[in-house]
């Protein structure tokens, strides 16, 4: 009798459909609050957004008419390409314990499906909140060769350790837009207490280097091309990526220099490093409120950052912040009063500890073809047997588009991790 019947495959697909929402938003409030849109497809799409209504103003009719904007508004368009993030688990068929009951077989299959889904969701969330589209997501503070091929990498953001798993393979480059350095390293140890990742570079030729950035092999490919989901801090870069507030680059087809409406194409950026955080949050919210449809309602930050902010404000975090997607999911956070009105502070572990995102959450869009998670197999099977090895893979993909319809409704506030 076959281990996995067609009914088992159907059960796994049904499990995927029933649990994708909670898998995607569990401990990830950013994805709960943003707009989800199904039915998006194609190899690429243009996403227009309004940056102003032109110069048709003044006290003289003829002059205002002469300066009026054709078609009613100034519009730019992101050139968005779809991205795929895969989650895969494998099983050695010879080690699968056979059982007399079908339920135990389904349990094993669903557990493997759950693992694949969580891998995909973790990586997807890391890219959207922890990267800029290049795939780099952490910076090496110091690199210590402990013995032979083993290196300890102290990261500048200790919480970035949690974005890796044992046996991940990482690569490095001088900057997020530089060519990759030689070699790679396999993750052997994770120490989020000390902020250290232990890797084995083997004979790959990799020499871990302080100040260099790292990413997953096959995902961080080096160069300035956006190859993954362009993350929020790609759309809204931090102060360290700007000069006098100007990014000065071309991002997804849009030039972001001083001859553009700066915050309308790149959002806001302020520096709260070494400062009290709330005054910067408050003044940023006030500035954002002066723009149409840009009043923020959500502050996303790392749990360690939220803890510091709660101490600064002398407020206690609540653990009953309701999900908008799934009635059984709750988040930790609290409300603050700003010049723009009430803002929810929510802790999301995918957010870097050195940044906060102050935003109007509904302006961020995750668009997907039919469902956020789907089997990678063309036949719709989650479990696919290898033709040349006695193994079975369980694989799913999180695919789609991610973008904002209003960069001016978001701000990146840099803080001390």
Q: What is the pLDDT along the chain (417 residues), one digit of tens a residue?
A: 355 555 666 666 666 666 666 677 778 899 899 998 887 776 667 777 777 777 777 888 878 788 877 766 777 888 887 777 777 887 777 666 554 455 555 566 667 777 777 777 777 888 888 777 788 889 999 999 999 999 999 999 998 998 898 999 999 999 988 999 999 999 999 999 999 999 999 999 999 999 999 999 988 888 777 767 788 999 999 999 999 999 999 998 899 999 999 999 999 999 999 999 999 999 999 999 998 889 999 999 999 999 999 999 999 999 889 888 877 889 999 999 999 999 999 999 889 999 999 999 999 998 888 777 777 777 777 778 777 777 888 888 877 888 999 999 999 999 998
Say yes or no: 142 and 125 in one domain.
Answer: no
Range of the domain at 176: 136-216
In sequence order, the 6+-apart residues with CB closer than 8 A to the CB of 416 are 272, 273, 274, 354
Say yes or no: 170 and 263 in one domain.
Answer: no
Q: Among the three residues 182, 216, 250, which one is the final residue of a domain in this structure? A: 216
* pLDDT of 353: 93
Concatenate the DSSP letters of all residues of 133-177 into one string: SSSEEEEEEEEEEEETTEEEEEESSGGGGGG--TT-EEEEESSTT
Q: Among the three residues 159, 189, 216, which one is the final residue of a domain in this structure? A: 216
Say yes or no: 156 and 40 in one domain.
Answer: no
Q: Among the three residues 188, 216, 244, which one is the final residue of a domain in this structure? A: 216
Say yes or no: 45 and 185 in one domain.
Answer: no
How far, in whole angstroms, is CA 235 from its chain's centroid? 12
* pLDDT of 394: 80
Query: Does residue 274 lie in a domain region?
Result: yes
Report the C-alpha gap between 205 and 383 in whole angstroms. 36
* pLDDT of 1: 39
Q: Is 391 within 8 Å of 403 (Cβ atoms)?
A: no
Task: Kindly list the strands in the beta sheet with 355-359, ordered across the sheet, starting from the edge strand earlier in the chain.
Answer: 268-271, 410-414, 355-359, 298-301, 341-347, 330-338, 318-322
Say yes or no: 345 and 327 in one domain.
Answer: yes
Query: Does residue 363 lie in a domain region?
Result: yes
CATH number of the domain that residue 188 is part of: 2.40.30
Query: Does residue 62 lie in a domain region?
Result: no
Query: Does residue 181 lie in a domain region?
Result: yes
Say yes or no: 316 and 411 in one domain.
Answer: yes
The count of structural domains within the chain is 2
Say yes or no: 258 and 399 in one domain.
Answer: yes
Say yes or no: 327 and 410 in one domain.
Answer: yes
Query: Does residue 27 lie in a domain region?
Result: yes
Query: Does residue 221 lie in a domain region?
Result: no
Burial of 225 (0-12, 13-18, 19+ CB in 10 A): exposed
CATH number of the domain that residue 343 is part of: 3.90.1690
Say yes or no: 373 and 256 in one domain.
Answer: yes
Say yes or no: 176 and 108 in one domain.
Answer: no
Phi first, then psi, for residue 230 (nearest 5°) are: -70, 115
Say yes or no: 333 and 196 in one domain.
Answer: no
Report the C-alpha gap between 296 and 287 in whole angstroms. 10
Say yes or no: 12 and 44 in one domain.
Answer: yes
* pLDDT of 380: 75
Query: Does residue 127 lie in a domain region?
Result: yes
Query: Does residue 176 lie in a domain region?
Result: yes
């Amino acid at each position: 009798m076959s281990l996995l019947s067609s009914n088992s495959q159907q059960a796994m697909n049904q499990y995927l459909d029933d649990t994708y929402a909670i898998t995607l938003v569990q401990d990830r409030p950013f994805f709960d609050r943003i707009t989800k849109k199904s039915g998006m497809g194609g190899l690429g799409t243009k996403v227009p957004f309004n940056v102003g209504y032109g110069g048709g103003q003044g006290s003289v009719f003829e002059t205002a008419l002469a300066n009026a904007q054709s078609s009613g508004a100034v519009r730019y368009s992101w050139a968005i390409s779809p991205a795929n993030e895969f989650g895969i688990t494998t099983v050695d068929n010879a080690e699968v314990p056979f059982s007399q009951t079908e339920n135990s077989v389904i349990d094993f299959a669903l557990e493997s499906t759950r693992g694949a889904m969580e891998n995909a969701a973790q990586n997807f969330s890391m890219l959207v909140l922890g990267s800029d589209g290049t795939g780099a997501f952490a910076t090496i503070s110091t690199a210590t060769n402990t013995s032979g091929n083993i290196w300890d990498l102290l990261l500048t953001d200790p919480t970035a350790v949690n974005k890796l798993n044992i046996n991940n393979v990482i690569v490095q480059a001088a900057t997020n837009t530089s060519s990759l350095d030689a070699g790679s390293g396999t993750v052997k140890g994770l120490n989020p207490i000390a902020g250290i990742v232990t890797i084995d570079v083997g004979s790959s030729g990799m020499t871990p280097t302080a100040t260099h950035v790292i990413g997953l092999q096959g995902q961080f490919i080096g160069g300035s091309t956006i190859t993954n989901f362009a993350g929020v801090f790609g759309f809204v870069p931090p102060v360290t990526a700007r000069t006098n507030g100007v990014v000065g680059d071309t991002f997804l087809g849009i030039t972001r220099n001083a001859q553009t409406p700066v915050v309308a194409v790149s959002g806001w950026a302020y520096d709260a490093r070494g400062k009290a955080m709330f005054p910067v949050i408050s003044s940023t919210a006030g500035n954002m409120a002066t723009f149409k449809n840009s009043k923020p309602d959500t502050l996303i930050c790392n749990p360690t950052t939220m803890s510091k902010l709660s101490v600064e404000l002398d407020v206690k975090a609540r653990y009953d912040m309701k999900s908008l997607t799934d009635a059984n999911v709750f988040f930790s956070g609290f409300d603050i009063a700003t010049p723009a009105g009430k803002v929810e502070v929510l802790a999301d572990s995918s957010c870097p500890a050195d940044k906060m995102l102050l935003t109007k959450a509904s302006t961020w869009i995750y668009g997907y073809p039919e469902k956020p998670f789907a089997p990678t197999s063309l036949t719709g099977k989650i479990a696919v047997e290898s033709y040349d090895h006695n193994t079975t893979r369980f694989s799913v993909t999180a695919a789609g588009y991610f973008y904002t319809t209003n960069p001016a409704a978001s701000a990146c506030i840099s803080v001390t991790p």
